[in-house]
Copies of this chain bind each other. A is one copy, B any other.
Amino acid sequence: MFGLFHKSSDRPLSEKGLLGVLEYSQKSSRCIGQLADDNRVSANNLMTYGSVLGDDLTDVTSRLGHLLIQWSNILMEFQDSVDQYRDTLKSITVKEASLQPGRDQKRKLRDQIERLQNSLSSMDKVNNLKEQLAQLEEFTAPDEAEMSNFKRIATREGLYLLLNGMHAMSSKSDIISTFGKYIVDELDVDPVKAGEERRPYTGAEKTKRIQEDAQRAIEQWNPDKAKVRRTLTAH
């Protein structure tokens, strides 16, 4: 009998874990959305800060600010991937719920059999219940098997969605960081003494091109084929 009880207490542990994933991946998703928002406001403030501080600071903070705002869009795409991951795992709980009535009935029968066997009651009664249980188990077996199959498929699908999203987010973020540095390189940091004029800023054409190239690199980005996994629900 231990086997049966062991099994029925395993399920709640697994369910608890799954509900935890759903809860905390939703929290993660919200964090990423919040980060996208805060970063956007911060980038706008960076542009305001530099807007009146001379040609070089004005240009560099403006170009980089626009790139950092792009980063917020990248984060929002990633938030979307986390949501898809979550939705996919949630489909497991939805499917599990449809199996619950049958499972409850089986547990009830097992409890009854256990009780009657301990109380040394009539074998007839016990055998009758055992037969009911066997029938119910046979009847629900295909659905339980399908559930077990589905769990693997949905888990794999969900994790691929998460990891594909992470791949896109990291590749695009790295584009921001690389091109961003090229822009910052244009800042003139040579010290100028009081009364001297800072030499005229000549980087504007270059930073414009860098920003456009970065934009294009992000738009045209495609996942590394060796790394991406085809998913069923990804759009």
Task: Report A's interface with B, CB cutoff 8 A.
Answer: 10-11, 13-14, 16-21, 23-25, 27-28, 31-32, 34-35, 38-39, 41-42, 44-54, 56-57, 60-61, 64, 71, 141-142, 144-146, 148-149, 151-153, 155-156, 159-160, 163-164, 166-167, 169-171, 173-174, 176-178, 180-181, 184-185, 187-189, 191-196, 227, 229
CB contacts (< 8 Å) of A148 on chain B: these are 54, 192
Let me know if A152 and B189 touch, CB within 8 A. yes
Within the oligomer, what is the number of copies of this chain?
Answer: 2
In the bound assembly, the distance between CA atoms of A229 and B163 in angstroms comes to 29
CB contacts (< 8 Å) of A11 on chain B: these are 52
Let me know if A194 and B144 touch, CB within 8 A. yes
CB contacts (< 8 Å) of A47 on chain B: these are 17
Let me know if A20 and B41 touch, CB within 8 A. yes
Let me know if B17 and A45 touch, CB within 8 A. yes
Let me know if B38 and A17 touch, CB within 8 A. no
Let me know if B181 and A14 touch, CB within 8 A. no
Closest CB of chain B to A137's CB: distance in Å?
A: 10
Let me know if A57 and B24 touch, CB within 8 A. no
Return the contact of A160 from the options B18, B21, B156, B184 (Cβ within 8 A): B184
In the bound assembly, the distance between CA atoms of A102 and B149 in angstroms comes to 75
Q: List 16 A-B contacts (CB under 8 A).
A: A14-B50, A17-B47, A17-B51, A18-B49, A21-B42, A21-B46, A27-B42, A56-B152, A142-B193, A142-B194, A145-B195, A153-B189, A155-B187, A159-B180, A163-B176, A167-B174
Let me know if B41 and A35 touch, CB within 8 A. no
CB contacts (< 8 Å) of A195 on chain B: these are 141, 145
Let me know if A151 and B193 touch, CB within 8 A. no
